[in-house]
Amino acid sequence: MKQQIVGLGEILWDVFPDGPRFGGAPANAACSAAELAGENARVVMVSGVGEDPLGEEALAALYAHGVDVRGVQRNRWSTGRVDVTLDAAGMASYHFAEDSAWDHLAWSEESAQLAAETSAVCFGTLGQRHEEARRFIRAFVKAVPDSALRVLDVNLRPPYDDDRVILESLELCNVLKLNDEELPRVATLCRCHGGPVDVMHELAERYHLKAIALTRSAAGAVLLCRGRLSDRGGRPVTVADTVGAGDAYTAAMMLGLLAGHDVDAINAWAIDVASHACGVAGGTMPFPHELHFRDKETLKGS
């Protein structure tokens, strides 16, 4: 049986000055994982969309990237959207619509079955801004097998950057991914001291993490996995925008961890994947063949 990777949380449309593009951090990660893994893994999205044209387009976008949409609920709220502005360097800022379909998720037997079949789940803090979604996401993460990767992407989007949600989510995860703006916030919350690598070691020990990744935009990334550290620089790239680059890194990291690859090999590949994402506008994209996951036998389950 193929291993199952789940993107859990928000589905939305990033509305750029030149028009809407499909997005949402866990949806971006799911699309990237499906594109990279191809037939070597089953990637499922668990979220909500509305009974509206954007909901239909969201389902079509997921399907086009090879993502299974059986976990996407349809409900009476509008499909999520966020207005995106870009600065001169291509860095994005966001304004989220309130009370969207992904805020209202209902637990069911199908949800429990999906969780039981999961090998890796990626969830974030933004997806928990509403109590209904927060309860659902936490129930799902707790219901995955003990052996599964529970990947927390700390995506701080004011005003939905609640300290309590961050701390409680840290207790649920066994893999942590954050960037160089999020690490100081988490370090302060957790009263960690020292430089970035010192904080990573302290967080890994305190929360019993299998891995922790720090992405640093053009400066590359640091990946700590079971006591082994990889620190690699970025790749030269003409930036279209940075939307989805961190999510692409997360996707590659999950695949590498599931396959049991060496920490430095995972980090190098994930940086290459994220660099490619920076050169493509929007949060989801295809990847050239040379970036696709190749270790077919290792990634397949029993």
Q: Does some domain include residue 69?
A: yes
Centre a 10 Å sphere on the Cβ of residue 274 and count the other Cβ atoms it contains: 28
Q: Does some domain include residue 45?
A: yes
Q: Which residues contact 276 (CB under 8 A, 6 or more apart)?
A: 237, 248, 285, 287, 288, 291
pLDDT of residue 288: 94
Rounded to an integer, the average pLDDT of 7-27 is: 90
Per residue in 205-235, pLDDT tens?
A: 999 999 999 999 999 999 999 999 999 999 8
Residue 120 CA to chain centroid, in angstroms?
A: 11
| Domain that includes residue 161, residue range | 4-282
pLDDT of residue 50: 97
pLDDT of residue 300: 42
Residue 296 reports pLDDT greater than 70:
no
**Structural tokens at position 36:** 């990279």
pLDDT of residue 118: 98
pLDDT of residue 301: 39
Residue 171 CA to chain centroid, in angstroms?
A: 17
Rounded to an integer, the average pLDDT of 26-42 is: 96
Helix (H) or strand (E) holding 98: none
Residue 189 reports pLDDT greater than 90:
yes
**Structural tokens at position 269:** 């590949």
Rounded to an integer, the average pLDDT of 39-59 is: 96
DSSP 3-state of 122: strand
Residues 179, 221 contacting (CB under 8 angstroms): no
Q: What is the dihedral of CA 176, 182, 188, 190, to 10 degrees?
A: -10
Task: Report the CATH number at residue 69.
Answer: 3.40.1190.20
Q: Does some domain include residue 289?
A: no
Per residue in 247-267, pLDDT tens?
A: 999 999 999 999 999 999 999
Q: How many Å apart are CA 73 and CA 89, to the nearest integer?
A: 36
pLDDT-derived band at 299 (thresholds 50, 70, 90) equals low
Rounded to an integer, the average pLDDT of 159-176 is: 96
Q: Backbone phi, then psi, for 242, in 5-degree steps?
A: -95, 5
Higher pLDDT pick, 20 / 178: 178
Name the residue among 209, 197, 220 with its Cα closest to residue 269. Answer: 220
DSSP 3-state of 131: helix
Q: Does some domain include residue 287?
A: no
Residue 121 reports pLDDT greater than 70:
yes
Residue 202 reports pLDDT greater than 60:
yes
Domain count, the chain: 1
pLDDT-derived band at 240 (thresholds 50, 70, 90) equals confident
pLDDT of residue 254: 98
Q: Does some domain include residue 296?
A: no
pLDDT-derived band at 302 (thresholds 50, 70, 90) equals very low
pLDDT of residue 297: 46
Note the pTM of the prediction, 2 decimals. 0.93
pLDDT of residue 242: 82
Q: Does some domain include residue 294?
A: no
pLDDT-derived band at 91 (thresholds 50, 70, 90) equals confident
Instruction: Calculate the average pLDDT of the chain.
Output: 93
Q: Does some domain include residue 135?
A: yes
N-term to C-term CA, the chain: 6
Instruction: Say how many CA atoms lie within 13 Å of 214 toward its Cβ.
Output: 26
Helix (H) or strand (E) holding 223: strand 221-225
pLDDT-derived band at 105 (thresholds 50, 70, 90) equals very high
Share of residues in the chain with pLDDT > 70 (%) = 97
Q: Does some domain include residue 216?
A: yes
